[in-house]
Chain A
Amino acid sequence: MIKKQWCFAVAMGVAASLLAAGCSAPSSESKKPVTLTYWDFLDPSQDNPRAKALKENIANFEAANPNIHVQLSVVSLGDMLNRLPQVAAAGQTPDVFKMFTPVVPQMAAAGAYKPLPDQATQVTDWLRPPDNLVNGDGKQVAVPYEYRTCQLYYNEKILKKIGAQVPTTYDEVVAVAKKAAASGVTGFGTGFSDTDNSAIIGTFFDCFMSQVGQDIWDKEGKAAFATPKGEEFGKFLTDLRDAKALGSNVVADSYGTVADGLANGTVAMAVLGTERAVTFSKTAPDLKWTPLPMASTGDKTGATIGWTLGIGSGSEHVDAAWKFIEYMTGPKGAAEMATGGEVPTRDITYKEPYFSTPEAKKVNDIAEYVKSNSKPHTYSDNWTALAAGLSRAGQSLVLQGRSGSDFIKSAQDAANK
């Protein structure tokens, strides 16, 4: 009996030590020093609030996780789109990278992402469901990092000078833009350059299609927006062209040049992303913003877009990568980014003390606007082709006098090429 008890005790001891060894193995693994490579377009060495917030966040994360070092590479979106498919093919993706929402499925198709670990499903308080951040197998590959949508910016001083009210429909935008153009400024700022991956026309198109309730792709993922609803966007652009309200440089203008024009008072109105509101409020006091003008449907709801974070397909540090993503999108990290004007994506973040301060008013307003005036939708894996097609179709519209329906058809064909 005693012998049996001894055997049982020894067996239990062995089992306990094995269990302890089994449990302690991953923890010692996780304590090994890890260097995470991270691609972001923000340069922490720059003197702006967003860059400072990023720098602060990385430092805070490293302090909280002394075994994880974050090695940041500053890569522009254009470079990321070019380089990610290359590094994915070579198995050398960064551990974590930022990506613009509409391009996530395309980068997933290019093999740049690793599906997120199971822990990702435990985060359930996203303000918008992240259903559109999936790969071809329907597995989630990214989480929202920052939200934005479109809004109409206008120069109050110019509108006052020409005696115009803030437009509330697209027809009114054309009429006001015509008046403004007659006074010597660009009536409505947009651009058909594809030097920045057609950011301005692509974003505006995305929001407009949401407004008119037009799906951009069919169930097979083919672009299918050349419909009467889609043509409304082409008609708006041709109306602006015919009213001579587009800038003389519209063919070569990009997101940056239009934003600069708005800021320095040479552009009367433009549809840009909400992320510009914080900067404009500090640098261009004459610039105001208002919800998108109503489309024929009477709808003002644009698309919820923004930046996302995902894990690179070549990452060998998935746990550490997820830990970093969780921190950056979590309450502490997101609140820090909000000080730079970024709109947090999780409900829990808004319970942080910063959001009750007067400094947070702007971000709270934008967050409220995004919540009430935008909705997310799914994207196919050919966003860059569609955006380039929109630019080229826009160039034809201006230089060759093409019609609005030609514009939409041409952009659709380019996306499906």
Chain B
Amino acid sequence: MSNDHTAARGLARETLAGAGETPPTRRGAPTARRGRGDRQVWLYVIPVSAVFLFVFVGPLIYTAWTALHETTYYQIGEFSGLNSFVKLFSDPDLRKSIGTTLVFSLGALVIALPAGLLSAIVLNDISRFKRTVRSLFLLTWLMSQATAGTIWVWFLNPNFGPATAITTSLGFGPTDVFTTPATALLAVTLITAWWSYPQAMLLFLGALQTVPEELRESLRVDGGGIWHGFVHITLPYLRNTIVSVVVVLLMLYVQMVTIILVTTRGGPLAATETLSMRVFNQTFNEFDLSGASATAILLFAVNIVLTLVAIRFRRKETL
């Protein structure tokens, strides 16, 4: 009975609102405004959702669908169940790819994170030529990954690269860094860290500018040095940013293709073939779309795990 009354009142209000009339009660006015507000929210939500469905959910479902079917080049054939996943997890090279992904991603992170933080601190502290120095620090990140990779391939070329000229004149011989698995992985990791550290620097710089100057003044008055300031003031203020930077960079490294493609294409002997590079090679070199889709789903799972870990860290920080 009561439900019927509520429904009837709601219907009456909607009818009035639809007719452009104001409800007679005083409590009705804000409710109608809220209703209009709620409807306006959908104006924002629907396009975002549509784009999200189109560029993320759709391709994700299509990738999963492809992984569950046989493929010939880019034509999807018969349903094959979990065959491509069975093939993926029984591939002896998968463990190596995962290991390479971890070494590459964590290695680049270990270099880019402190480099970004240090650069941000330097930039935050300098008073003269601030804009020029900031632009110089950002230069590497402003160039495309393909350009960065090509520059390094040229620079390190053992036949005519400037690096070879330098190392040869010093008596070390040519810089054939891309010829052995260990040095190739090291080189690709360093190049990626070099290209990406300004991204960390920018995020840290933004966070550093929120540190109250009074705290630094107090520390100076109390006789605290630079190290004390860093440990007791800067780091606590940057904790959440550090977590964000770790997540952003790890995502970037786990999904990195271009720099590896330009420099080594995953070689030699698959030493630089990360999971992302494996997806690329399976798709465009081996034309194994089904296998590549299965690997892509695995990569997606890795990214989800990373995101969940980050969310957990941030929640702890908030608590």
Contact = CB atoms under 8 A, between A and B. Distances in A.
A45 interface: no
B180 interface: yes
Interface stretch (B25-33, B115-123, B134-142, B261-269): B261-269
A367 to B, nearest CB: 32
Interface stretch (B101-109, B233-241, B280-288): B280-288
A110 interface: yes
Interface in B238-293: 264-265, 267-270, 284-287
A305 interface: no
B287 A248 contact: no
Nearest to A261: B159
B267 A194 contact: yes
B interface residue count range (under 10 / 10 to 19 / 20 to 34 / 35 or more): 20 to 34
A199 to B, nearest CB: 13
B23 interface: no
Nearest to A109: B73
A110 B287 contact: yes
Contacts of A193: 265, 267
A109 B160 CA distance: 41
A386 B283 CA distance: 16
B174 to A, nearest CB: 6
A257 interface: yes
B73 A111 contact: yes
Contacts of A264: 159-160
B6 interface: no
Interface stretch (A48-56, A80-88, A221-229): A80-88
Nearest to A250: B179
A249 B159 CA distance: 9
Interface residues of A, number: 32
B287 A399 contact: no
A400 to B, nearest CB: 8
A123 B176 CA distance: 50
Interface in A199-233: none
Nearest to B173: A248
Contacts of A86: 74
Nearest to A195: B265
Contacts of A82: 284
Contact of A249 (B158, B267, B270): B158
A257 B74 contact: no
A399 B269 contact: yes
A252 B178 contact: yes
A249 B174 contact: yes
B159 A85 contact: no
Nearest to A387: B285
Nearest to A197: B285
B181 interface: yes
A150 to B, nearest CB: 22
A382 to B, nearest CB: 10
A394 to B, nearest CB: 9
Interface string B140-178: 000000000000000001111000000000000110101
A395 interface: yes
B210 interface: no
B3 interface: no
B159 A89 contact: no
Contacts of B159: 249, 257, 260-261, 264, 266
A251 interface: yes
A111 B174 contact: no
A310 B285 CA distance: 22
A251 B74 contact: no
B74 A248 contact: no
Interface string A257-283: 100110010100000000000000000
A89 B268 contact: no
A243 interface: no
Interface in A74-111: 81-82, 85-86, 88-89, 109-111
B158 A399 contact: no
A251 B287 contact: no
Interface string A334-360: 000000000000000000000000000
A248 B179 contact: yes
A396 interface: yes
Given A85-B74, A86-B74, A399-B268, A252 B285 contact: no
A83 to B, nearest CB: 9
Contact of B176 (A249, A261, A388, A395): A249
B75 interface: yes
A385 interface: yes
Given A85-B287, A248-B174, A111 B267 contact: no
A399 to B, nearest CB: 6
Nearest to A385: B286
Contacts of A195: 265
A109 B75 CA distance: 11
Q: Which of A192, A252, A257, A388 has the most CB of B within 10 A?
A: A252
A193 B160 CA distance: 18
A266 B267 CA distance: 24
A40 B173 CA distance: 40
24 contacts: A81-B284, A86-B74, A109-B73, A110-B287, A111-B73, A111-B75, A193-B265, A194-B285, A248-B174, A248-B176, A248-B179, A250-B179, A251-B178, A251-B180, A251-B268, A252-B179, A252-B264, A257-B157, A260-B160, A385-B286, A388-B286, A395-B267, A395-B269, A399-B180
The 8 closest A-B pairs by CB, nearest first: A89-B74, A85-B73, A110-B73, A252-B178, A251-B179, A82-B284, A249-B158, A395-B268
Given A194-B267, A248-B173, A251-B178, 10 more contacts: A86-B74, A89-B73, A89-B75, A110-B287, A260-B159, A261-B159, A384-B285, A392-B270, A395-B268, A399-B269
